[in-house]
Structure 1
Amino acid sequence: MKKKLLMVLISVSMIASVFTGCGNSTEAKDSGKAQTEQADTKEDSADKADEEQAALEDGTYTAEFKTDSSMFHVNEAMDGKGTLKVEDGKMTIHVSLVSKNIVNLFEGTAEDAQKDGAELLQPTTDTINYSDGTSDEVYGFDVPVPALDKEFDLALIGKKGTWYDHKVSVTNPVEVEE
């Protein structure tokens, strides 16, 4: 009798564990639905951001130029910003760097920059006026911007002749009042 009772209890617990497993499966399906809905929401948000970007009218803006490096950045006098120009829907940001040590930029990777026919971005000489009344000549670059608020590859070469890969982004455009 004890054996039969033990067998019944084991059977009941096995059946309960099977049903519990099925319940988790349903929860997993519901969780999967929720994740899919969240992904759809994120895609919708990305589409809206793309639409907003497309709505950026031709004109001149200030915008933040962010890099992944403390050695490669916008001159401190420029407060991390450059001048973003939009013409016929194409965006280019002019950034003034901290010195003349970076001699070329390339929109893409360092590997691609070294290939035959690679079009390097040439520097301009910019005069920076600091708050203490001093000024300095530094290199500036006109960098094509493929999209706002998204990282893109930008390689640089310095005076020593070595290419370096960097990730940059352009964010927060504010129209310049004329």
Structure 2
Amino acid sequence: MRIAFLTAPEGVEQVELTEPWQAALAAGHDPVLVSTDSGDVQAFHHLDKADTFTVDEVVGELAADSFGGLVLPGGVANPDFLRTNDEAVAFVKAFFTQGRPVAAICHAPWTLVEADVVRGRELTSWPSLRTDIRNAGGTWVDQQVKVCDHGPNKLVTSRKPDDLKAFCETYLRVFEQEEKGG
């Protein structure tokens, strides 16, 4: 399965990109780094610059239906930038419209809020997003990983880097189930 990993040009939390990416590779999937611009993505370890990663595809030049699923890594700046980019928001929303699975960790649900896809869903995130999720019509829960199947697709969310092992196991299981037809 081709899995889109959507990031901003700067600000993605490195471990929230690399661990789910490596898990996808290990499971035999094809992860694709998608960003709003070509070139490199600057990752961070919290507030410190970390590695850079080369963008595979630009969000405005592709369609969601060329992927089986979408992973949204966190970091504070990453989803904050993505939610102000109309093409990124439309790309995310298309996964929900088309019934494709989505996984988001930490601050990444900010982009989901902007795409107006959390209404009626239970999800988790970094605790500071709780009010934003509630104001967007979602229900915030404090769980390591939450799978929500309200609507045409499944949504996997997780709180923080400490939850990455459970997040990776869960999103891969859900994506594989969806690929096989539920």
Q: TM-score range by the shorter chain?
A: under 0.3
Higher strand proportion (structure 1 or 2): 1
Q: Which has the larger radius of gyration?
A: 1
Q: TM-score, normalised by structure 2?
A: 0.21
Higher helix proportion (structure 1 or 2): 2
Q: TM-score, normalised by structure 1?
A: 0.21
